[in-house]
Structure 1
Amino acid sequence: MSVPQKITSLGKVVVVGGCGFLGHHIVKLILERLPASQISVLDLRTTANRQDSPTVSYHDGDISDLDAMQAFFAKTKPDVVIHTASPHFHLPAAVHDKVNVTGTKNLLKAAQDSGVKAFVYTSSASVVLGPHTELVNADETWPLVTGDAQPEYYTTTKAYAESAVLEANRTPTSFLTCAIRPAGIFGEGDIQVLPPMINTYRTGKNKFQIGENENLFDFTYVGNVAYGHLLAAQALLHTHRILPTVPLDSEKVDGEAFFITNGQPVYFWDFIRAVWHAAGDRTKLSQVWHLDKDFAYVIGTVMENLFWVLGKKPTLTRAQARYSTMHKYHSIKKANARLGYKPLVDLEEGIKRGVQYILDQDEKAAQKKGQ
Structure 2
Amino acid sequence: MAPTHVLVTGGSGFLGRAIVKALLDRHADWTITVLDLHVPPKDVLDRVSSFIQADITSPSSVNDAFLHIRPDLVMHCAGIVPARRHRYSTNQKQWHKVKTINYEGTKNVLNATLASGCRKFVYTSSCTVVIDDLAHDYFNMNEKTPLGYATLHYGKSKGMAEQYVLSSEHAEKGLEACALRPCTIIGPGDIAVISLIHDLIAKGETYFIIGDGDNLYDFMYIDNAVDAHILAIENMLTTATAAGQAFFISNQEPVYFWDFFAYIWAQFGHVPRFRVRIPMAVAWVAGVAAEVITYFTGAAPTVDRGSVWDAVRTHYSDNSRAREILGYEPKIGLAEGVRRSCEVGIVR
Q: TM-score, normalised by structure 2?
A: 0.91
Q: Distance in 1 between matches of 2:150 and 2:323?
A: 28
Tell me if 1:19 matches 2:12: yes
| 2:254 match | 265
Tell me if 1:73 matches 2:62: no
Q: CA deviation at 1:52?
A: 5.3
Q: Distance in 1 between matches of 2:8 and 2:237?
A: 16
Q: CA deviation at 1:10?
A: 8.2
Out of 157-166 and 298-307, give the one that drifted further. 298-307
Determine helix, strand or coil for the equivalent of 1:259.
Answer: strand
Q: CA deviation at 1:48?
A: 4.0
Q: Distance in 2 between matches of 1:133 and 1:323?
A: 10
**Contact kept? 2:34, 2:48, Cα under 8 Å:** no
Superposed CA offset, 1:45-98 (max 9, x none):
115474254434322110122222122123121111111111231281111121
**Contact kept? 2:128, 2:155, Cα under 8 Å:** yes
**Contact kept? 2:232, 2:326, Cα under 8 Å:** yes
Percent sequence identity is 34
Superposed CA offset, 1:216-252 (max 9, x none):
1001111111111111111111135xxxxxxxxxxx4
**Contact kept? 1:16, 1:85, Cα under 8 Å:** yes
Tell me if 1:103 matches 2:105: yes
**Contact kept? 1:10, 1:233, Cα under 8 Å:** no
Superposed CA offset, 1:171-211 (max 9, x none):
432x2101110111111122211101111123332122212
**Contact kept? 1:10, 1:234, Cα under 8 Å:** no
Out of 115-124 and 335-344, give the one that drifted further. 115-124
**Contact kept? 1:185, 1:219, Cα under 8 Å:** yes
Tell me if 1:227 matches 2:218: no
| 1:155 match | 155
- Written as runs of structure 1 = structure 2, the 5 A alignment for 1:302-321 is 302-321=289-308
Out of 310-319 and 40-49, give the one that drifted further. 40-49
Runs of 5+ consecutive residues of structure 1 not aligned to the other structure: 1-8, 241-251, 363-371
Superposed CA offset, 1:121-169 (max 9, x none):
1111011232321010000001112xxx432122211111000000154
| 2:79 match | 86
Change (3 A) 1:172 1:133: same
Tell me if 1:140 matches 2:140: no
Change (3 A) 1:123 1:274: same
Aligned residues: 336
- Written as runs of structure 1 = structure 2, the 5 A alignment for 1:1-371 is 11-48=4-41, 50-51=43-44, 53-89=46-82, 90=86, 92-129=94-131, 130-145=133-148, 149-167=149-167, 169-173=170-174, 175-239=175-239, 252-284=241-273, 287-359=274-346
Change (3 A) 1:61 1:52: closer
Determine helix, strand or coil for the equivalent of 2:209.
Answer: strand
Q: Distance in 1 between matches of 2:96 and 2:332?
A: 36
Instruction: Let me know the Cα RMSD of the aligned residues.
Output: 2.0
Change (3 A) 1:99 1:295: same
Determine helix, strand or coil for the equivalent of 2:264.
Answer: helix
Out of 82-91 and 130-139, give the one that drifted further. 82-91
Determine helix, strand or coil for the equivalent of 1:349.
Answer: helix
AA paired with 1:46?
V
Determine helix, strand or coil for the equivalent of 1:74.
Answer: coil
Out of 61-70 and 19-28, give the one that drifted further. 61-70
Q: CA deviation at 1:116?
A: 1.7
Determine helix, strand or coil for the equivalent of 1:51.
Answer: helix
Displacement over 3 Å in runs of 4+: 47-50, 52-56
Q: Distance in 2 between matches of 1:276 and 1:344?
A: 24
Q: Distance in 1 between matches of 2:344 and 2:74?
A: 29
AA paired with 2:150?
Q
Runs of 5+ consecutive residues of structure 2 not aligned to the other structure: 87-92
Q: Distance in 1 between matches of 2:284 and 2:32?
A: 46
Determine helix, strand or coil for the equivalent of 1:92.
Answer: helix
Change (3 A) 1:294 1:35: farther
**Contact kept? 2:186, 2:341, Cα under 8 Å:** yes
Out of 212-221 and 59-68, give the one that drifted further. 59-68
